[in-house]
Amino acid sequence: MTPLLAVQGVTKRYGRHVGCLDVSFDLWPGEVMGIVGESGSGKSTLLACMAGHIAPDAGRVVFDTRAEGPVDTVQMSEPARRMLARTDWAFVHQNPRDGLRTGVSAGGNVGERLMAVGARHYGDIRAAATDWLGRVEIDAGRIDDRPVTFSGGMQQRLQIARNLVTGPRLVFMDEPTGGLDVSVQARLLDLLRGLVRRMGLSAVIVTHDLAVARLLADRLMVMKDGRVVEAGLTDQVLDDPQHGYTQLLVASVLQV
């Protein structure tokens, strides 16, 4: 079996400051990898490097493409990488407004991504958009409303629908439950877990919330100052942390 994504020695510096340093890991099909750490630990920089939003200074991000097998996406042409981002990849931003077009209806937001990969039949696109709004628990009656009229939780679910409608194999998520109320978070986590399982998705999820990581991720990487200090099975890293920093993180969580 080939890893879906092989990250090898990825490094990004901002001047003298280290974004992330020499990060390597393999992600296997159907696996969810969580990346935890405090603000400034480099987890979002690493995610942006993997997703091709920023170019790493060193390292390879090898994705197992459908057509050609493993390809280093860092060395890919910009159009090829964009095509990958529209088809096999998805990116869920913390702030749904970064991932949605606010001037377009909810149905349009979902349909747009289908059109970007060649769908042209209006009826089919609208039917797919309706189906996906249902899957993310948005009432079909809101299909023509613009996302600015939606609550934060609905906007986040719409962003997820827009991302998953093209049937990606790999989803990058940056603090997907970040700005949401706790009750809304639980609903979104349940939704994400169901989608990951039913679609057989692989995902990389950046979060600072260890409870979210425990519920969503199979494996966990802990980052500090741009470096991975510990990695392993999610419950092993949280229940029997080996590194001093992870022990501190786990011990600092408030018990409810």
CA 80 distance to own-chain centroid: 20
By CB under 8 A, residue 104 contacts other proteins? no
Residue whose entry in the numeric block shows the structure tokens 């992600």? 27
Interface residue with other proteins, options 58, 140, 148, 248 (CB under 8 A): 248
Binding to other proteins, residues 130-149 (CB under 8 A)? none
Q: Is residue 219 involved in binding other proteins (CB under 8 A)?
A: yes
> In terms of CB distance, is 139 or 239 closer to other proteins?
239
Helix axes 106-116, 152-164, angle to 10 degrees: 20
Count of residues engaged in binding other proteins, rule: CB under 8 A? 25
Can you read off the two tokens belonging to residue 108?
């349009």
* Six token digits for residue 62: 């090898």
Strand ranges for the chain from DSSP E: 5-14, 17-27, 32-36, 58-65, 69-72, 89-92, 170-174, 202-207, 219-224, 227-233
Residue 253 found at the interface with other proteins (CB under 8 A): no
- If one asks whether residue 189 binds other proteins (CB under 8 A), the answer comes out as yes
Using the contact rule CB under 8 A, the part of the chain among 6-14, 57-65, 117-125, 228-236 near other proteins is 228-236
Write the interaction track for other proteins spanning residues 1-30; mark x where CB under 8 A is met and - where it is not: ---------------------------x--
C-beta of 104 vs 184, nearer to other proteins? 184
Beta bridge partners of 69: 65
The rounded distance, in Å, linking the Cα atoms of 226 and 147 is 35
240 interacts with other proteins by CB under 8 A? yes
45-75 per-residue burial string, b: 16 or more CB within 10 A, e: under 16: bbbbbbbbeeebeebbbbbbbeeeeebebbe
Minimum distance from residue 234 beta carbon to other proteins (Å): 9
Residues of the shown chain interacting with other proteins in the complex, contacts defined by CB under 8 A: 28, 31, 183, 186-187, 189-190, 193, 197, 214-215, 218-219, 232-233, 235-236, 239-240, 242-244, 247-248, 251
